[in-house]
Amino acid sequence: MSIALSHFPILYICYDIVIFQYDSIFMK
């Protein structure tokens, strides 16, 4: 549980960055 909770923020940030990149590509 503690390991998953500690890694969750990192995965969420990476996921957010990927969405941001895709959004910027589609906006262009």
Percent of the chain beyond pLDDT 70?
71
Dihedrals φ, ψ of 20, to 5°? -65, -40
Work out the pLDDT band at 5, boundaries 50, 70, 90.
low
Distance CA 17, CA 13 (A): 6
pTM assigned to the model: 0.44
Judge whether residue 1 has pLDDT over 60. no
Amino acid identity for residue 17 in this structure: I
Averaged pLDDT, 2-17? 78
